[in-house]
């Protein structure tokens, strides 16, 4: 089942599907086992979300029973609005801005007309567009594989395996496959960015305040994630171990010859191939092409991406990196209105829980940028 289908199931249906998977694993091959294991992770994620939602409803009902809340008049046209339409109303945008500042979501939930998925308060649509734009504007992070598994996320990979062979009738039986598997443990941590601003800045309208926060903080955090992807690839061992995916290296300066050698180290699974290098490296390679006696593409159809943290060059498919975001894609904000109150300043911390690791063997190669010894 797909993630979308699982997220529509109730608790009993989830239990039934988990029982079916237990039966299917008995005869499943390695590839099927990985698929079933991933499906079980999503089932557990959905179960936890349902439990949280049920607990929130229980607490809300208990509060109402104790006299909390008050009856409000609801216009007929509001009753017929979908959550997506509600998210675009000025009332919801204002309520969401208050939620960002206070952490209290009761006003947002009161405006919604449908049960929200996973019990998470949805962002206004224009904010969601800003989040996606921030991701899409980063040429590195937008190509990375993403998951949203709560807690640490383990990803299995094949370190090595012996191949198949023909068996002649009556001859010795083939040797048993020697399979070595590894596991990459993706541990999430908070990527943070904080600023101080005056009370007057936050006295602006709710939409303007949200625009300001996402311009100042969200884009910087996404930029950090792209740089972290680069750092993880560069820090990978040259050969795979049982706990880390290897990234082979090509010693030498970046030129058409080393680019070809690096491409040769990639496996066929590396399909959406890119070249990542600093601005000066990219310019140097282009200059080499200009100085040649014939026209040719010095990057050999690779998509060229500039990142000035790369000493040489990275060749590969960025889908070989996994970013796990246990708390979702949106940056969470914390407002500290006390520490700098005497200066009429507010400290705002934006944070995003994320873990990033290389998980795809044969997906990358690194050109060191230095001459071999």
Tokens in use for 44? Answer: 């557990």
Domain regions of the chain by residue span: 3-123, 189-367
Q: Tell me how far apart the alpha carbons of residues 82 and 224 are, in angstroms, rounded to a whole number.
A: 35
Q: Tell me how far apart the alpha carbons of residues 92 and 90 are, in angstroms, rounded to a whole number.
A: 6
Q: Helix H segments across 275-322?
A: 279-291
Residue 356 CB-half CA count within 13 A? 26
Tokens in use for 174? Answer: 């083939």
First to last CA, the chain: 52
> What is 83-144 written as a DSSP string?
HHHHTTSHHHHHHHHHHHHH---HHHHHH--SPPGGGPPPPPHHHHHHHHHHHHH-TTGGGS
The candidate with the shortest Cα–Cα distance to 246, out of 233, 231, 236, is 236
Q: Tell me how far apart the alpha carbons of residues 143 and 141 are, in angstroms, rounded to a whole number.
A: 5
Q: Tell me how far apart the alpha carbons of residues 87 and 104 are, in angstroms, rounded to a whole number.
A: 17
Cα three-residue angle 143-147-152, rounded to 5 degrees? 125
pLDDT at 147: 92
pLDDT at 162: 54
- Strand 364-367 relative to strand 189-198: parallel, antiparallel, unpaired? unpaired
Give the containing element (helix H, strand E) for 304. strand 303-306
> What is 179-204 written as a DSSP string?
EEEEEEEE--EEEEEEEEEEHHHHTS
Q: Which residues, other chains included, contact 314 with Cβ-Cβ below 8 Å and sequence gap of 6+?
A: 230, 233, 234, 274, 275, 276, 277, 364, 365, 366, 367
The candidate with the shortest Cα–Cα distance to 316, out of 264, 260, 364, is 364
- Token look-up 């005497």 returns 342
Q: Tell me how far apart the alpha carbons of residues 279 and 305 are, in angstroms, rounded to a whole number.
A: 9
Residue 305 CB-half CA count within 13 A? 25
pLDDT at 363: 95
Residue 343 CB-half CA count within 13 A? 9
pLDDT at 76: 45
- Token look-up 């050109």 returns 367
Strand partners, 153: 186
Which pTM was predicted?
0.65
Tokens in use for 268? Answer: 């066929």
- How would you write the pLDDT of the chain (373 residues) with one tens digit per residue? 787 777 777 777 777 777 787 777 767 777 777 787 788 888 888 878 877 877 776 676 666 656 565 544 444 444 567 777 888 888 888 888 888 777 777 888 888 876 665 566 777 777 777 667 777 788 999 999 999 998 899 998 887 665 666 656 666 676 655 677 889 999 999 999 887 877 666 666 777 777 777 777 888 888 999 999 999 999 999 999 988 999 999 999 999 999 999 999 999 999 999 999 999 999 999 999 888 877 889 999 999 999 999 999 999 999 999 999 998 877 887 878 778 777 778 788 888 999 999 999 999 999 998 764 4
Cα three-residue angle 125-131-136, rounded to 5 degrees? 120
pLDDT at 68: 61
Q: Tell me how far apart the alpha carbons of residues 2 and 336 are, in angstroms, rounded to a whole number.
A: 41
pLDDT at 190: 94
């Amino acid at each position: 089942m797909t993630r979308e289908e699982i997220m529509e199931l109730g608790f009993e249906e989830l239990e039934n599907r988990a029982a079916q998977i237990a039966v299917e694993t008995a005869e499943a091959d390695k590839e099927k086992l990985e698929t079933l294991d991933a499906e079980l992770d999503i089932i557990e994620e959905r179960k936890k979300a349902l439990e949280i939602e049920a607990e929130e409803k229980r607490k809300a009902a208990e509060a109402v029973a104790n006299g909390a809340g008050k009856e409000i008049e609801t216009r007929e046209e509001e009753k017929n609005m979908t959550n997506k339409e509600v998210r675009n109303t000025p009332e919801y945008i204002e309520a969401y801005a208050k939620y960002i500042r206070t952490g209290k979501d009761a006003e947002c939930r009161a405006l919604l007309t449908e049960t929200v998925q996973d019990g998470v308060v949805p962002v206004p649509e224009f904010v969601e567009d800003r989040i996606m734009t921030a991701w899409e504007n980063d040429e590195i992070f937008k190509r990375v594989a993403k998951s949203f598994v709560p807690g640490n996320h383990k990803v299995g990979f094949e370190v090595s395996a012996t191949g198949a062979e023909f068996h002649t009738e009556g001859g010795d039986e083939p040797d048993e496959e020697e399979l070595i598997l590894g596991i990459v443990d993706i541990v999430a941590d908070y990527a943070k960015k904080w600023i101080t601003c005056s009370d007057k800045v936050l006295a602006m309208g709710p939409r303007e305040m949200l625009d300001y926060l996402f311009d100042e903080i969200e884009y910087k955090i996404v930029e950090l994630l792209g740089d972290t992807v680069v750092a993880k690839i560069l820090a990978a061992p040259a050969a795979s171990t049982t706990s880390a995916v290897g990234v082979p290296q090509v010693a030498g300066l970046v030129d058409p010859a080393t680019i070809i050698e690096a491409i040769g180290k990639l496996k066929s699974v590396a399909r959406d191939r890119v070249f990542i290098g600093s601005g000066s490296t990219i310019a140097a390679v282009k200059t080499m092409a200009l100085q040649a006696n014939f026209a040719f593409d010095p990057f050999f159809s690779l998509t060229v991406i500039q990142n000035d943290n790369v000493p040489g060059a990275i060749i590969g498919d960025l889908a070989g990196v996994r970013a796990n975001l246990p708390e979702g894609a949106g940056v969470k904000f914390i407002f500290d209105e006390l520490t700098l109150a005497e200066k009429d300043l507010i400290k705002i911390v934006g944070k995003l829980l994320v873990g990033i690791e290389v998980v795809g063997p044969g997906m990358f190669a690194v050109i060191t940028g230095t001459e071999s010894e």
